[in-house]
Each structure stands twice: as structure tokens, then as C-alpha cells.
Amino acid sequence: MSVPVLTIDGPSGAGKGTISRLLAKQLGWHYLDSGSIYRSLAIAVLKQAVALDDVDAIVNVAKAMTLGFECADELVVKLNGEDITAQLGLEKTGNTASIIATLPEIRAVLLQKQQDFKQPPGLVADGRDMGTVVFPDAAHKVFLTASSIKRAERRYKQLKEKGIDANLIGLTKDIEERDRRDRERATAPLSMASGALFIDSSDMTIDAVITQVLDFIR
């Protein structure tokens, strides 16, 4: 039986996580937050103090790590049995993940871990290369973006709500730097898959984006 896959790719902070989780819930499908796999590896690498240019050592960490995902109200992620959910959203984790993600050897090791999420009755997969590399045969593909200023403002609000000190100019710079790295890397760069629905969510509500995607896939 073929399992339907909806891929949602786009730059950081475009709202992919929120939108994908809500869509998975409405459709009754599984959810893959592929960024959390790269982030988990970043946490493992930082914990073990592996140098970010030691590709062989990072490959070994990637091969050895076991990840557990529990979908409660929020996604709970366990790395080798330890709950790392609180560290996943840190700027340091995201920036390290985006450096590691430029390495083709690492992307190759993580490919199968992501494809294993494709299970009946369906899958919503969010990331950078879901529609182009990981699930090229997906039935439905979306490219979700927003201006870098809007994305930095959303991130700023999220951090403030959590009581974390943040600086809007610094966040905008980080986001633009991460976008550049994700778009310019040689392997699986962030790009729109052919046939994907393009959505710029800068001035849209979450509900409006969800409605547009549901209309598209039905």
C-alpha cells in the first residue's frame, strides 16, 4: 500500500513546525520534524566535545546515537535515553546543526532514519530537503517561507515568552547566516521542489496557511 507523504520545506522560522504538527493532527498522520534529528546530533556532538571539522568522528556519533520521539502536547526527544527536549531549541544547537548539516557524509547517515518515519496512514515531514531528497516521490509538496525580519520577530517573541533574553538584530543576523548556509551548501541545499505549492506566510495567520495547504492536498 502506498503511504501518502506531505512535505513542508522552507527556511528556519517560517512556521513549518507549528503548521506541520497541526496538519498531522488534523489528517491523523505521523509527523517527522527532520530538523530535530540534525539538532539531536548537534547536541550529541557538543556533549562529546567532537570538533566540527572531524567528519569521521561526527559520522561515528551519528551512527551510534539512538533517538526516541514521543508526541505528547509538545514533541519530547530522547537521545540515548536522555530527555534533550529543553536543549533542542537553543540557538547554539540550531547553529551547530546547520554547520553539521553541510556534510554529505552526515546527511547520508541520517537519510534512512528520516525515511523510516514513512508509515501508514500517512506522514507530514518538515525540513529543508524533504520534497527534493528524502521523499522525492511525495504526493504533496509545500515550500513555506516568510521574510527574515518576520521570522526573527517570531523567534524573538518565542524566546521572550520563555523568559530568555534576546536581541532582534542578532537574531535577524543569525537567521540570515543560517539561510545562507542552508541554501548554498553543495549537498541537498534548501530549494523549492518542483511542483511544490509556494506559500509566503509573512502576513498570514496559522489558520490561513493550514486552510491553503488542506485545499491544495484535497
Which residues contribute to the site for ligand C5P (CB under 6 A)?
12, 34-35, 38-39, 94, 97-98, 101, 127-129, 178, 182
Q: How far is the CB of 76 from ligand C5P (least distance, A)?
A: 15
Kindly tell me which of 94 and 122 has the beta carbon lying closer to ligand C5P: 94
Kindly tell me which of 28 and 31 has the beta carbon lying closer to ligand C5P: 31
Q: Is the peptide bond before 121 cis (omega within 30 degrees of 0)?
A: yes
Kindly tell me which of 10 and 122 has the beta carbon lying closer to ligand C5P: 10
CA–CA separation, 214 vs 128, rounded Å? 20
Please give the C-alpha separations between residue 101 and each of 23, 93, 118, in angstroms, as whole numbers: 26, 12, 21
Q: How far is the CB of 118 from ligand C5P (least distance, A)?
A: 14
Q: How far is the CB of 14 from ligand C5P (least distance, A)?
A: 9
Q: How far is the CB of 218 from ligand C5P (least distance, A)?
A: 26
- The helix or strand, by DSSP H or E, that contains position 34, with its residue range, turns out to be helix 34-47
Q: How far is the CB of 130 from ligand C5P (least distance, A)?
A: 6
Q: What share of the chain is helix, strand, coil (3-state, %, to 5)?
A: 50, 15, 35
Kindly tell me which of 129 and 145 has the beta carbon lying closer to ligand C5P: 129
Kindly tell me which of 87 and 182 has the beta carbon lying closer to ligand C5P: 182
Which residues 6+ apart lie within 8 Å of 20 measured at CB? 8, 31, 33, 124, 125, 126
**Beta-bridge partners for 177:** none
CA–CA separation, 137 vs 116, rounded Å? 15
Kindly tell me which of 187 and 202 has the beta carbon lying closer to ligand C5P: 187
Which residues 6+ apart lie within 8 Å of 123 measured at CB? 3, 4, 5, 6, 24, 29, 30, 31, 32, 117, 135
In the bound complex, which residue of the shown chain has the CB atom lying closest to ligand C5P? Answer: 35
Q: How far is the CB of 123 from ligand C5P (least distance, A)?
A: 14
